[in-house]
Amino acid sequence: MVIELTKRQEHIIQIVKDEGPITGEQIAERLNLTRATLRPDLSILTMSGYLEARPRVGYFYAGRPAGSIISERLHKLLVKDYKAMPIVVSESASAYDAIVTLFLEDVGTLFVVNQKGFLAGVLSRKDLLRASLGNKTLEDVPVGIIMTRMPNIVTCGPEETLYAAAKKLIDFQIDSLPVVRPGQGEDSKHWELLGRVTKTTIAKAFVELGSEPKV
């Protein structure tokens, strides 16, 4: 996707073309603006590939197609480098135990593991809310009854790109993905739980990706 530039951004590009390498402070002086006012424009131009930034040197004109830098970086981010610790409950736990864990850990999804520690199911807020609407005592309802089981669990692997994981979150309209790998030997049909990827994970990576280099 081509980014439509503002007149100020086009002016910045021209200044860098004519005078680069040039620092952000110098560009701000040419435009009679503060560095803070200019910061979003420089971030956009750097991330979209128009400019390159080198610490303690300044900005250079890159002349690359808009979006190429973002696309390249997005497809280099791997799940294994951004995954968070999974919040788990035992398959023998009750729905009440799961709700307590959900609130104590402040998460939206719990991963259910069996006695060997392999992924057995996924519990969402909706699953637990649905269980709480019944007439049964939550202490007597095992999570195994209300959780989502394989093959209905959407997963991702540690070597997948964060972009691919984000697309799964959107396509399947879910909040969290378990990061898994196959077990070894006789357990090869089971999934070892390595971590989780959530919408918050994606947001943090996006913020990191868009951070402006300090020049």
Are 13 and 116 part of one and the same domain? no
Fill in the DSSP letter of residue 133.
T
Strands 88-90 and 51-54: unpaired
Specify whether the CB–CB gap between 77 and 163 falls below 8 A.
yes
CATH code, domain carrying 176: 3.10.580.10
Specify whether the CB–CB gap between 49 and 62 falls below 8 A.
yes
**Listed residues 27, 42, 63: the one ending a domain:** 63
Q: What's the confidence (pLDDT) of residue 114?
A: 92
Are 93 and 186 part of one and the same domain? yes
Residue 116 lies in a domain: yes
In this predicted structure, the answer to whether residue 23 has a pLDDT above a threshold of 70 is yes
Fill in the DSSP letter of residue 181.
E
Q: How many other β-carbons are positioned within 10 Å of the β-carbon of residue 210?
A: 14
Mention every residue, 6+ apart, whose C-beta is less than 8 A from residue 180.
Answer: 119, 155, 156, 157, 191, 192, 193, 194
* Residue of 207 and 3 predicted with greater confidence: 207
Computed over every residue of the chain, the mean pLDDT equals 86
Domain range enclosing 50? 7-63
Mention every residue, 6+ apart, whose C-beta is less than 8 A from residue 130.
Answer: 146
Are 52 and 81 part of one and the same domain? no
**How far is it, in rounded angstroms, from Cα 29 to Cα 138?**
65
pLDDT in tens, 105-155: 999 999 999 999 999 999 999 999 888 887 778 898 999 999 999 889 999
Averaged pLDDT, 25-44? 88
The count of domains in the chain is: 2
Element (H, E) at 120: strand 119-124
Paired tokens of 31: 């435009």
Are 105 and 54 part of one and the same domain? no
pLDDT in tens, 191-206: 999 999 998 898 888 8
Are 49 and 93 part of one and the same domain? no
Are 92 and 148 part of one and the same domain? yes
Residue 2 lies in a domain: no
**Banded model confidence at residue 180, pLDDT cuts 50, 70, 90:** very high
Paired tokens of 110: 């719990």
In this predicted structure, the answer to whether residue 68 has a pLDDT above a threshold of 60 is no
Residue 1 lies in a domain: no
Are 41 and 121 part of one and the same domain? no
* Residue of 202 and 179 predicted with greater confidence: 179
Are 54 and 84 part of one and the same domain? no
* Residue of 67 and 64 predicted with greater confidence: 64
Residue 133 lies in a domain: yes
